[in-house]
Amino acid sequence: MTGRERVREIASLTNPLVKQLRALHGRKERRESGLFLAEGARTIVEALDNGQAPEILVYHREGRDRPVVARLRAACVKAGGTCLETNDEVLAKISRKDNPQSVVAAFRWRERGFDAVDPASARVFVALDRVRDPGNLGAVIRTADAVGAGGVLLVGETCDPASVESVRASMGSIFAVPVFEGSETDFLALCARWPGSVVGTALTATTHYRRAALREPVLIVMGNEQAGITEAIAGACTDLVRIPMIGRADSLNLAISTAVMLYGVAEPESDASLA
């Protein structure tokens, strides 16, 4: 197939590729195909900048001459992918939205287990125990990217990091931060061989989150939205800490508390664009 043949026009809502892309809103279909959806030119550029080209790129035919679309199309064709030029109706069907983005793409999900975590690659990592909310997960991935974390570790039964909601909330950081997935047993084994501090967060902890004497690399462990971290995970932590609260709230939102922890423990030392 030549580069020109890899760019196709699609106007029919019943085209099999349209059906395949729409089905990627479902977890089962994502797992079976190994593909996931990302929306918006900015997010897809983020993927390219992080070395990942789309397998299928879909864009509104009226935008075909935009420089950013030309760049995405060239990258997709070069990587052997398929480009589809289409209309509002098809984009709305794929996106399941009335006012869809004018560019969407399907990418291959990179599966990584806890064996692939390299503790020497960064100062800080964050693990989420049984995270349920894809918005929280995407926001954590985005914050992990902002502080230069080495990865986000998903422990046990979690929401899908490749869901449209999670990818959307990560604002492109899903392509910059490695996501590792594994069972609680595998996580406990990783904690046992972790070379630095494993810092669990718990509402019952008596140590202030900035007063723990921590050794890098720091592995921060955040709990499930309802149940917190399991007893087994708490037992595997070298430190248990809490962020102070003096008002009526009995806890902080998971993504917010993860941001406080990440910045408290590993605020980036330099941002050249700041005075």
Residues that bind ligand SAM (CB under 6 A): 201, 203, 222-223, 225-229, 242-243, 245, 251-252, 254, 257
Q: How far apart are CA 25 and CA 3, in angstroms?
A: 28
Smallest separation (angstroms) from ligand SAM to the CB of 251: 4
Q: Which of 23, 59, 19 is nearest to 39 (CA)?
A: 59
Residue with smaller CB distance to ligand SAM, 116 or 245: 245
Residue with smaller CB distance to ligand SAM, 129 or 181: 129
Residue with smaller CB distance to ligand SAM, 9 or 267: 267
Smallest separation (angstroms) from ligand SAM to the CB of 240: 9
Residue with smaller CB distance to ligand SAM, 115 or 267: 267
The helix (run of H) or strand (run of E) holding residue 82 is: strand 82-86
Smallest separation (angstroms) from ligand SAM to the CB of 219: 13
Count of CB atoms situated within 10 Å of the CB of 11: 12
Q: Which of 237, 106, 76, 244 is nearest to 167 (CA)?
A: 106
Residue with smaller CB distance to ligand SAM, 13 or 256: 256
| Encoded tokens for 100 | 């869809």
Q: Are 239 and 198 in contact (CB under 8 A)?
A: yes
Residue carrying structure tokens 């047993």: 185
Residue with smaller CB distance to ligand SAM, 75 or 140: 140
Smallest separation (angstroms) from ligand SAM to the CB of 245: 5
In the chain, count of helices (H) and strands (E)? Answer: 10, 12
Phi-psi region of 143 (alpha: psi -120 to 50; beta: other; left: phi over 0): alpha
Q: Are 216 and 148 in contact (CB under 8 A)?
A: no
Which phi and psi angles does 228 have, rounded to 5°? 70, -160
Smallest separation (angstroms) from ligand SAM to the CB of 77: 44
Smallest separation (angstroms) from ligand SAM to the CB of 246: 11
